[in-house]
Amino acid sequence: MGVSLQDAAKKFFLIKKPFSLKSDDKNISVFPCRELKITYVIDFDHPLLAKQTYVLRFSGSAFMKEISRARTFGFLKDVETLKSNGFAQGGSLDNAIVLDDFRVLNSDGLRYEDEFVRHKILDLIGDLHLLGMPIIGHFVIHKSGHALNHIFLTQLRKKRKCWKVVRFPDQYACAARQISVPTFAFPQPANV
């Protein structure tokens, strides 16, 4: 096994025109941009989850440092119901944040002051991978989740005027068009 370099040019899903989707008080928009940028706002009816905003300009190092360690979160009152219905079987205070009505129950606290909104960005990045190629655009999101993200991506794919697939043989071709891609989009040369 291992890594095999392929001759095909790398494909990217490039946003050309704005597209938005709204559902009640939740919405997602994407705008043309020369990088993957995510502006995310959460606002839950909980003192620790009240309005949080985070902006991520995506790069491999930013993802690793700012997003990858953000844990999912849930409420103590829902844990037993989830487990009795076959969900959250691997969930624990080691890999999730559990809240009661006023506080975080994890003895080690939060990894980031705004870990909740950072985890929502992590969720979005996972959902974006359903496109099958890296996306280049600026997402502005207010209170979305997996279900709305999926509907948004399904509708966006149908709006062909809003995007195009572009191919770049290497990072130099991207740079020539002033497009910044995540560090994992092209193979990195091995250190000799």
Instruction: Give me the tens of pLDDT residue by residue for the chain, a chain 192 residues long.
Output: 777 776 777 889 999 999 999 999 999 999 999 999 999 999 988 888 889 999 999 877 888 899 999 999 988 888 878 878 888 777 777 888 999 989 999 999 999 999 999 999 999 999 999 999 999 999 999 999 999 999 999 999 999 999 999 998 877 888 888 888 765 555 555 443
CATH of range 11-68+114-181; options 3.40.30.10, 3.40.50.720, 3.30.1700.10, 3.40.980.10: 3.30.1700.10
- How many residues does the structure list for the chain? 192
Whether pTM > 0.75 for this model: the answer is yes
Q: Which residue has the tokens 């009640």?
A: 24
Say how many C-beta atoms besides its own lie within 10 A of residue 137's C-beta: 24
Per-domain residue ranges of the chain: 11-68+114-181, 71-110
What pLDDT digit, counting tens, does each position of 57-104 carry?
987 788 889 999 999 998 888 887 887 888 877 777 788 899 998 999
Active-site residue numbers?
146
Residue type, 184: F
